[in-house]
Chain A
Amino acid sequence: MEDYKYLFKVVLIGNAGVGKTCLVRRFTQGLFPPGQGATIGVDFMISTVEIDGVKVKLQIWDTAGQERFRSITQSYYRSANALILVYDISCQPSFDCLPQWINEMDMYASTKVITYLVGNKSDRVNQREIPAHIAERFAQQQDMRFLETSAKEADNVKRLFLEIAKELTQQARDNEICSQYSSASDLGATDTSPVGNFSCCKGF
């Protein structure tokens, strides 16, 4: 009765106002809501895509970019299968913050997560501040895939999510016993948590 074969969790992160929510909206609902307010906490969307005849369900967690929600958004990284790190190509600061974000990813996300660097708002040709090749080089250095998208023009958005779905599906197929795989990663997660607890206990 299951209407999908694989379920993947995708988490979007990045500075406030780079267009994470718009990307998700564009992909899941096919619309571009102008004047989208700042996300509070975490938003959730679901989307089912077909990859090579297999139904794949994507749980998309759209996190708030604002600093104040950092602690709750971080808690969503861990279970993610894919992380999309978004910046705004017309906003230098959002690019400058990337190392910080990568740091966070290293700290909180699982090691098996696949990561995408996405330069959004590629429609703003005239206001571009980050040349694509610089971002691409950066992505290579960090071992991330790179794409430039425009949520407004629906440019590359679908491609982005489909690529992710494809790659994750491929991954899942390669490790045929996917469930074992995920349980192994779960094991990894539970393994790390006692260590965390231990370090809290040092307070006593």
Chain B
Amino acid sequence: MDKLTFYAMKSPEKLDRIANYLAERLSQDVRRQRVGFVMIAMEALDSLLVSCHAQSLNLFVESFLKMVQKLLECDEPDLQCLATNSFVKFANIEEDTPSYHRRYDFFVSKFSSMCHNCVADPDVRARLRTAGVRGLQGVVRKTVSDDLQVNIWEKTHMDKIVPSLLYNMQVGMSEELESPKDEDHPAVVAETVFRDLVCRASYGNINSVLKPVLLHLDDHKLWVPNDFAVKCFKIIMYSVQAQYGYIVVQMLMNHLDDHSKQLPRVKASIVNVLSETVLIAAGGSVGPSVLEVFNTLLKHLRISVDKDISATQSPDEKNFQEAIINTIGEFAKNLPDYQKIEVMMFIMGKVPPSSESQPVKNSKDVLLQTMLMKTLLKVATKYKTVLLNNAFPSTFLDPLLRMSVVSDPGIRRLIQEIIHTLLDRHDNLLKLTTVRIPEQISTLKLTVEKAQRQDIMFAKKSGPLFYWHLYKNAEMQNNKVDNFETIFCTLALMFVEMNGDEVLIDSFRFALGIQHMAKVGDLPITHKCAIHAIVAAHLNLISQLTAVPALCEHVAVVIARRKESAPFYLPAMAFNRKNTANSYPEKDVVLESCMFNPDTISDALRNSGHDTSSLVSPFMPQNVIGFDQVDLKKSASDIHSLNISFSLDSRSSSIESIRKSVGEEITFESLKKVLEMNPRAKEEEQKERQKILEKFTNGPFEDIVARSEAKSEKFANKLNEILEKIAQPPQAAEPLSKDGLTVPIHNIQFPELFIY
């Protein structure tokens, strides 16, 4: 052998003939089944191959490959393995001369088929499969760098190579538990080769690797359960050149598109894989078109929701929606902050516009809104707020707040939660989610920083907007305990995050405002208790945080009084989910001694050097003005009613005094009684208004005028009836009586009016 090698090296021109001879001998031996000679011939070929110079190899290789093919065509596993080993050795040789007429089609086909070998003997099978995988790797190595070679990335080849590798990996995964991880296990080798393959793929041909992968996963039904799919894509993501990561993501998305009609379970699995992939791709997961990615996912969410209505809500569909929402969250996490805001606005833009004149009735819309809000919440949690005015650009804040007063309590809660995560910069959120009244606020371990100037500016500009919507929120009839908790949390966070002087006063004013509402409003007793509890908790919080002794004292005293005589006004009781009807007082009587006194608070604040001038004007009237302005524009009937109430007020000649001292007990207590006495009258009134409004929006102008005159007369009478007994301050009557009717109109109009 040594002699042969030496001779060949000395006279390379003979190499070709040597090879020819060897090849002939070998094919004879094969035919005659003389395995021993075959081995020797192969060994000779190998050593010649290794020891000779690359330039002279070209022709020699022809014979060599012919031999390998010959051996591969045999049935004998040993010979096949032998051939593969030789081929792999050959593949490792770097050739510098390109070869024009070499063809590897057969090798790809044969090695692929070896990968699927299923000889009964497991050892032989494993050996053959490993050989097949190695052979494939050899082909890829050999061709990938050679420009003149058949393009190995072509579909015909990849369709054989990739599934073969995946098949072995997949089989290995199911067997893994039994067989120890040895390096020659086909699954292990296949995985290595697969990594190698993916790693070599460039921009143009990453596609041709991924297509067969997706197809294979489809064919072998490997999406559900998706362990293998996840594993595959993890391998892909870790091996693929980082700059192409987004293509993988994109391919998966397209795949999802193709499967939009599939079972939700399959889709959910695909989305899960997607989210795992995104997790790895990190920064590079989102390609050039950021919004496109979100658009696609949101589209699927929408499709899913649409379908949901026709079918019953299946848990699968729910899982799918969950999965999408999570994935969107993962995507968003990888974006820079400014893009997160963009994405949030984008999602906001996808919210179906709730019809203006009536609250959303369509359950589909509600569901979609809920889903989108959940998505928004997911994105929002990934956002790290630095400056509030960046987190809440008015184009985002307005629709968000508008959404915050929709009729569905679930959505309202979600929106409050979105606001929470966006507001919360100091990780106080968890400490404030439950409504509590700790004696020492320090036990909450809140992190409070002095707000920055920009935040104060933001608070000045948007604070009232927040408060107004919170007020509306608190007023909702269908609030749940959760809703109240979130309201409290928003309130507290707003105070903690925007803790300027102005904000302080606003905060107090708002607290007193809702206390007032709870006293006079037409709400179920449970709601009232909850609101009182919120007020107590909030005042406790801010009084201690501002550390005005007189204030703290007042708050402490009131709380102590409540503990004694009205425990249901405290959070421990009001937010106890185990409450039954018996837990609440039967009669809805406001215990004035248990209320927070605006005057005392005002005094206390003034004495500590705060400017309380704005505190003096109660919370509601200011808004009612805005409210009325809208109404004046909108509806003549409202003008009438307004006029009537004003005239009534002047008749009773106490309008001024009442306006100023909202908190006067006699007025409100009796007012409330009146309101309670006439629920039916109120209902009728509301119906009437609804009718009028419909006429207004639909009918011709003259008609409207005539009708409204007639109606308003009737209306005036009715109002008279109601109001005769007592003077009614407009600020209290208006919002209550118009509750359901005017809210939507108002919501549309209000923000613009209010900001400027």
Contacts and interface: CB of A to CB of B under 8 A. Distances in A.
Interface of A: 1, 3, 37, 39-44, 46, 59, 61, 64, 67-72, 74-76, 78-79, 189, 193, 196-197, 200-201, 203-204
B220 A68 contact: yes
A200 B211 contact: yes
B110 A79 contact: no
A14 B689 CA distance: 74
A71 B164 CA distance: 11
A74 to B, nearest CB: 7
Contacts of A67: 219
A39 B113 CA distance: 10
Contact of A61 (B109, B159, B164, B221): B109
B211 A40 contact: no
A75 B118 contact: no
A3 to B, nearest CB: 7
7 contacts: A41-B113, A43-B113, A59-B73, A69-B219, A71-B212, A78-B156, A79-B105
A53 B160 CA distance: 36
B118 A193 contact: no
Contact of B160 (A59, A64, A72): A72
Given A71-B219, A72-B160, A193-B155, 20 more contacts: A40-B118, A42-B112, A43-B113, A44-B73, A44-B110, A44-B113, A44-B114, A59-B106, A64-B116, A67-B219, A68-B220, A71-B159, A71-B215, A71-B218, A72-B112, A72-B116, A72-B216, A76-B109, A78-B156, A197-B155
Contacts of A42: 109, 112-113, 116
B207 interface: yes
Contacts of A59: 73, 106
Given A40-B116, A43-B113, A67-B219, A72 B163 contact: yes
B357 interface: no
A41 B159 contact: no
A196 B155 contact: yes
B154 interface: yes
Interface in B87-142: 105-106, 109-110, 112-118
A169 B165 CA distance: 36
B23 A44 contact: no
B254 interface: yes
Residue from A1, A67, A74 having most chain B Cβ neighbours under 10 A:
A1
Given A42-B116, A44-B113, A72 B164 contact: yes
B167 interface: yes
Interface in B208-260: 208, 211-212, 215-216, 218-221, 250-251, 254
A36 to B, nearest CB: 10
Contact of B250 (A1, A40, A203): A203
Contacts of B686: none
Nearest to A74: B159
B27 interface: yes
Closest 6 CB pairs of A and B: A41-B116, A75-B159, A72-B163, A42-B113, A46-B73, A40-B116
B24 interface: yes
Contacts of B221: 68
B208 A75 contact: no
A44 B155 CA distance: 21
Contacts of B24: 1
A27 to B, nearest CB: 14
Given A44-B109, A44-B113, A76 B160 contact: yes
A1 B163 CA distance: 36
Contacts, number: 88
A41 B112 contact: yes
Contact of B154 (A76, A193, A203): A193
B20 interface: yes
Contacts of A41: 112-113, 115-116, 163-164, 167
A203 B254 contact: yes
A189 B118 CA distance: 31
A67 B475 CA distance: 61
A43 B112 CA distance: 9
A1 B27 contact: yes
Nearest to A46: B73
Contacts of A71: 159, 163, 212, 215-216, 218-219
B108 to A, nearest CB: 9
Contacts of A193: 154-156
Nearest to B153: A197
A1 B113 CA distance: 27
A204 B113 CA distance: 33
A137 B612 CA distance: 100
Nearest to B125: A40
Nearest to B215: A71
A30 to B, nearest CB: 13
Nearest to B115: A41
A143 to B, nearest CB: 25
B156 A79 contact: yes
A21 to B, nearest CB: 10
Nearest to A72: B163
A200 B113 contact: no
Contacts of B251: 203
A68 B160 contact: no
A167 B673 CA distance: 104
Contacts of A75: 155-156, 159-160
A127 B155 CA distance: 42
Contacts of A39: 116, 118
A54 to B, nearest CB: 18
B159 A37 contact: no
Given A37-B118, A203-B250, A61 B208 contact: no
A113 to B, nearest CB: 15
Nearest to A75: B159
A194 to B, nearest CB: 9
Contacts of B163: 41, 69, 71-72
Contacts of A76: 109, 160
B154 to A, nearest CB: 6
Contacts of B215: 71
A193 B73 CA distance: 28
Contact of A200 (B114, B118, B207): B207
A189 B211 CA distance: 19
A136 B730 CA distance: 94
Nearest to B24: A1
A171 B219 CA distance: 36
